[in-house]
Amino acid sequence: MGGTAVNGSPETTPSATDRLNGLTSWDADWSGLRVVVTGIGVSGFSAADTLIELGAKVVVVDAATTPKAKAQADTLKIVGAVDVLLGEDAVSALPLIDDSLPELVVTSPGWRPDQALLAAAKRKHIPVWGDVELAWRLRIREGRKTADWLTITGTNGKTTTVGMTESMLQAAGLKAIAVGNVGTPILDALRDPVEYDAFAVELSSFQLHWSHSLSPVASVCLNVAEDHVDWHGSYASYLADKAKVYENTQKAAVYNAEQIETERMVENADVVEGCRAIGFTTNTPAISMLGVVDGLLVDRAFIAERKDSAAELAAMSDLGPVAPRHMVANALAAAALVRAYGIEPAAVKQGLVNYLPGAHRIQVVAKQNEVLWINDSKATNPHAASAALSSFQQVVWIAGGLSKGVNYDDLVKEHAPRLKAVVLIGTDTEALEGSLQRHAPDVPVIAQAKGDTEKVQTVAGNAASPIYGEAIMAQAVASAAQLATPGDTVLMAPAAASMDQFSSYAHRGDAFVQAVRELVEGQAPTTEE
């Protein structure tokens, strides 16, 4: 097949472009298509595996040379004819396939547009798709049901909203699954023997950047805040990619009525004729909105009498014993999507009752000596951390990590009155420390030893040292325990990514849970417990 890197070969021909334009179903002629897949992680492996099944000529490249990457490579070689090139040299330029340039690049979502191989593809006018774009083109398959797509993006709340959407669809008796950035690769769901009625699709800004032709039944951007500026190059570019969720929407473009940016995205979107703009708000809804009235989630959009009445969907209590404002917003967004799809109110309510929140999202870990310990490791940016901080009155805040180029001034200014103390973790805390000094100068800040960062294997191996990360977290929990007094909440909501000291936000959250439980088990329980 060949895998020689090239920088100066001729550009993609018009005939190759015409062929790609015709690849809009599983049954199209994918055989012999020369494709480079970048990344051998979950989405890259799924894309390569699918393309091999379709008969394409595939070369997979990844900078990683870890045992896991090599094992993935061996598996791909077993399942079909594929070349796998690992190491830094493999991702520095476009490889040849059968002595010719590739006709297509399918990239894993985390790869930045300015990465050398992807930049070379752009110069050669070779199309770059993400795995979601590939899945959209493959969704139609002769003899199988075609699942409808409900798409969800936003800076925060995506996974919760996708889970709620899935639960509501299932409560209505439909075969539905949460896919995309949530964890199940959408290509795997397409190849599942189960013929799904609908997909609840979580889309990151990265995935949207590499998507071009999606046309969902309904779509939503939950919220936007400064995030991933290092990847997109600017906040404006980040917003532009988020706004792509609305393009070609068929029935309902759902926006956050409390955030003008999302409404403007809908106003500027090129949607299918007849598509409605539907708002959601945690306040009283206007016409064509979903909102809250007297502790009830209500619909003034998808009923005939919406000018002077609303349909009850659920009660706040259906969301669980604690229903933070952002959780209510997520539930309303999910309800708007499924109501646009035709789901009855009873299924919305039952879906919320059935939904089980995932770990690491305002997760109660323990209550000891009247101190509440909360794990919100999923709060990987200031916007998410703000939602968590808003839920509590007096907080010992564990925060820090990879800042991703964001600014913390607004976050600290808003929540300084509720901060009793801050315990910093992470190797990139300068920006957060600066904001605390400027806007919360009287709040004690305890900085943990950053340790030997060379012990942490990050980008190439995608795994931090467990011992190192867990030791740092144990120190942070011990420091927080010394600062907290009855009535306080110790909140681990880092407002930053985890990859400097942990392999993922889940690893970071697990380390916190373990450290708290070890601490609590070493103390006498309160009389309440």
Look at 76 and 357; give whichever has higher pLDDT.
76
**pLDDT, position 456:** 38
Segment of 39-48, 183-192, 221-230, 270-279 carrying the highest mean pLDDT: 270-279
Q: Is the pLDDT of residue 525 over 60?
A: no
Q: Is the pLDDT of residue 113 over 70?
A: yes
Q: Is the pLDDT of residue 419 over 90?
A: yes
Q: Is the pLDDT of residue 326 over 90?
A: no
157 is in an annotated binding site: yes
Length of the chain: 529
**DSSP annotation of 374:** E
155 is in an annotated binding site: yes
List, in sequence order, every residue forming a beta bridge with 5; answer none if it has no partner: 95
pLDDT tens for 430-455 read: 999 999 999 999 999 998 755 443 33
522 is in an annotated binding site: no
**pLDDT, position 80:** 80
Which of 371, 373, 354, 350 minimizes the C-alpha distance to 362?
373
**pLDDT, position 460:** 30
Instruction: Look at the domain 5-134 and name its fold.
Output: Rossmann fold (3.40.50)
Q: Is the pLDDT of residue 233 over 90?
A: no
To the question of domain 363-521 being in CATH 3.90.190.20, the answer is yes
pLDDT more than 90, % of the chain: 72
| The pair of three-digit structure tokens given for residue 85, joined into one six-digit string | 């090139």
165-174, 212-221, 395-404 — which is least confidently predicted? 395-404
pLDDT tens for 340-366 read: 999 999 999 999 999 987 678 788 888
17 is in an annotated binding site: no
To the question of domain 145-354 being in CATH 3.40.50.970, the answer is no
Placement of tokens 């191989």 in the chain: 117
Q: What letters, b where the CB count within 10 A reaches 16 and e where it falls short, cover 478-515?
A: ebbbebbeeebbbbbbbbbbbbbbbbbbebbbbbbbeb
The rounded mean pLDDT for the chain is 89
**pLDDT, position 523:** 63
**pLDDT, position 361:** 79
Report which residue type is found at 338. Answer: V
**pLDDT, position 5:** 59
154 is in an annotated binding site: yes
**pLDDT, position 452:** 40
pLDDT tens for 194-217 read: 999 999 999 998 899 999 999 999
Split at pLDDT 50, 70, 90, the class of 234 is confident
**pLDDT, position 2:** 56
CB 283 within 8 A of CB 259: no
**Segments making up each domain of the chain, as ranges:** 5-134, 145-354, 363-521
303-312, 319-328, 417-426 — which is least confidently predicted? 319-328
Range list of H helices, 249-364? 260-268, 325-340, 345-354
Cα 175 versus chain centre, distance: 23
Split at pLDDT 50, 70, 90, the class of 79 is confident
The strand order across the sheet containing 128-130 reads 82-86, 57-62, 34-38, 104-107, 128-130
pLDDT tens for 121-130 read: 999 999 999 9
0.85 exceeded by the pTM? no
Placement of tokens 């110069």 in the chain: 123
160 is in an annotated binding site: yes
Q: Is the pLDDT of residue 526 over 60?
A: no
**pLDDT, position 156:** 86
3-class SS string, 95-151: ECECCECCCEEEECCCCCCCCHHHHHHHHCCCCEEEHHHHHHHHCCCCCCCCCEEEE
CB 36 within 8 A of CB 105: yes
Cα 232 versus chain centre, distance: 15
70 is in an annotated binding site: no
CA distance 40 to 76: 10
CB 127 within 8 A of CB 20: yes
List, in sequence order, every residue forming a beta bridge with 199; answer none if it has no partner: 149, 177
Q: Is the pLDDT of residue 262 over 60?
A: yes
**Residue range 307-320: mean pLDDT, rounded:** 92
**pLDDT, position 163:** 95
